[in-house]
Chains A and B, each alone.
Chain A
Amino acid sequence: MQFRSRRPRTARHFLALAIVVATLLLGLWPVVALFNSTELFLGMPLLMTWSIVVIGLTTGAMLLVNALGVHGTDEVPAVHAGGDTQGAEAS
């Protein structure tokens, strides 16, 4: 019996993954290097302000993916009725 790995399979799924990955990258190098400065913005060091923005972007990303309706399956796996040769095989 073959089993499908869990990965994006539609354009909306790929978009959802891209949103999450992009948000993660915004908190990591090299993006943080752009904000690593002694300049102040909104009264705080630039990197501090950016980190606070990342908090909001994280929730925003989840809201956006929720709105897309492709936030990943909540259900336990069901038997896949149709034939589908995509995806990894557990053989």
Chain B
Amino acid sequence: MRARGVRVDRRRFLATSVTSFAAIVSGGCDRFSASPTFREFLAGAEGLNQRVQRALLWRGALAREYTPADISPNFRANGSQDAYNLPAGYVEQADKGFLEWHLQVDGLVTKPASFTLADLRALPARTQITRHDCVEGWSCIGEWTGPQLATILDRVGLRPDARFVVFHCADELPRYVDGSHAFYESIDLIDAYHPQTILAYEMNGVPLPVAHGAPLRLRVERQLGYKMAKFLTRIEVVNRVDHIGRGGGGTWADDGYEWYAGI
């Protein structure tokens, strides 16, 4: 019985050693994570990822496109999905086909313009079946249709000092959470002019459902899903993004996620 007792003790000792070691590492790292300087140091890897990926990637490299047979039967929606985080009357407007909705395009452009849904549908459209990779880890494949962002930027004409394209959204989740700016996101001109960067008004052949950002959402196929802003209301061309929201360049970036979400 003694031998057995020793064995149990040894097993317990091993288990305790492993869990204590992990807990010390985890707790120690919590202290580091709480330090803004250290976090900024670690987050330097984001800049490295962006520079290396941009250097390695041919700028026009396309994300893989799939066949209709590959479309996921159950495409998960994430973030704001219903009336709860949307302005009053938004879902009713969706039911009527967004007749009063329009997309304002302004900022560092030569000819600011406003597009109704009919205007956007009249533009040349691109249809692409692509994989949507969520930062959480899952992927879904869907078909998206809409004009290339480049078409719209060419219509309004960029001024020479333009550097980023900011997407303002109807989604008010961040306003409810911390009273900040409504949901926004931004990309640079490399992604803005990428052929697969489109403003999608259709998903899987039907008008974009509210859960996926009706009536218009951004698709930036070489980045993670959280960059693909939903419920678009305004596109603003800017030179810098640090005066918008909390200055991170997007609601998720303000929340600690990478602005460049290529990995």
B is bound to A:
no
Residues of B near any A CB (own CB < 8 A): none
